[in-house]
Amino acid sequence: MKLEVCVADPQSLVAAVAGGADRIELCSALELGGLTPSPGMIALAATSGVPAYAMVRPRSGDFVFDQADTDAMLRDIDAIRAAGLAGVVIGASRPDGALDLPLLGRLVAHARGLGTTLHRAIDLVPDFAEATEAAVSLGVERILTSGGAPTAIEGLGQIALAHATARGRLAIMAGSGLRPDNVDRLLDAVPVDEVHSSCAGSEMLSAPGAVRLGFAAAVRRGTDSAVVAAFRTVLARR
């Protein structure tokens, strides 16, 4: 059972590696659901000793991307490959929430040679079984999903449907709201292949001046190596 830890800052990257993460999902702006990380973070992750997949998402908001967004994503994939990371995390939607299969096909083809995770754009689809079959046809390695719900625990039914539909042809990775104290509940219900978490620790207060000027939220959370290690302990018992 693999544990992927999503990180968005250098301290969280160090903590994820120290705690025993099997893989890193590298992002910026986790509070927005994750955006493409900076070149500096990509370079740091490339030397971490742990496989890292970088988010390819050029802006916040929905996953309905135009040509300008697409051009940026293709160039980001090139940069991620050149930096030596293991893979990319991609997704794209049509206005009705269905997967944008032509664009996803183009992104997957452009990422050839890299690992590919289909991100939680799939949580917007109207038909999970159909979307899972489409992901298999695209040739992605895995789907990251909360089952279309705010948390994976709330989305167990759709996660189970995706897992049953996949039949081992790609990995199903459950994520959103998972912690060492609730992941057993997920795994007892659905034997997913991998789990995903930020493994966040205690809240840290931001500097008051930065908060006052709108540079920071009042509190922030980063990955805690002890939480990563606790996750690993729970998963080792499965």
In this prediction, residue 238 carries a pLDDT of 86
Query: Is pLDDT at 186 greater than 90 in this prediction?
Result: yes
For 106-155, how does the pLDDT look when each residue is reduced to its tens digit (9 = 90+)? Answer: 999 999 999 999 999 999 999 999 999 999 999 999 999 999 999 999 99
Query: Is pLDDT at 56 greater than 80 in this prediction?
Result: yes
In this prediction, residue 202 carries a pLDDT of 58
- Per-residue HEC secondary structure of the chain comes to CEEEEEECCHHHHHHHHHHCCCEEEECECHHHCCECCCHHHHHHHHCCCCCEEEECCCCCCCCCCCHHHHHHHHHHHHHHHHHCCCEEEECCECCCCCECHHHHHHHHHHCCCCEEEECHHHHHCCCHHHHHHHHHHHCCCEEEECCCCCCCCCCHHHHHHHHHHHCCCCEEEEECCCCCCCHHHHHHHCCCCEEEECCECCCEECCHHHHHCCCCCCEECCECHHHHHHHHHHHHCC
Mean pLDDT of 36-42: 97
Residues near 65 by beta carbon (within 8 Å), at least 6 away in sequence:
58, 73, 92, 100, 103
Distances (CA, A) of 39 to 45, 57, 88, 190, 205: 10, 14, 14, 37, 27
In this prediction, residue 208 carries a pLDDT of 73
Instruction: Work out the pLDDT band at 32, boundaries 50, 70, 90.
Output: confident
In this prediction, residue 218 carries a pLDDT of 63
For 68-121, how does the pLDDT look when each residue is reduced to its tens digit (9 = 90+)? Answer: 999 999 999 999 999 999 999 999 999 999 999 999 999 999 999 999 999 999
Mean pLDDT of 165-189: 97
In this prediction, residue 205 carries a pLDDT of 56
Q: Sign of the C-alpha dihedral, residues 231, 25, 206, 61?
A: negative
Mean pLDDT of 147-171: 97
Query: Residue 174 belongs to what domain range?
Result: 2-236
For 188-227, how does the pLDDT look when each residue is reduced to its tens digit (9 = 90+)? Answer: 999 999 999 999 985 655 667 665 656 666 666 799 999 9
CATH number for the domain including 99? 3.20.20.380
Q: How many domains does the chain have?
A: 1
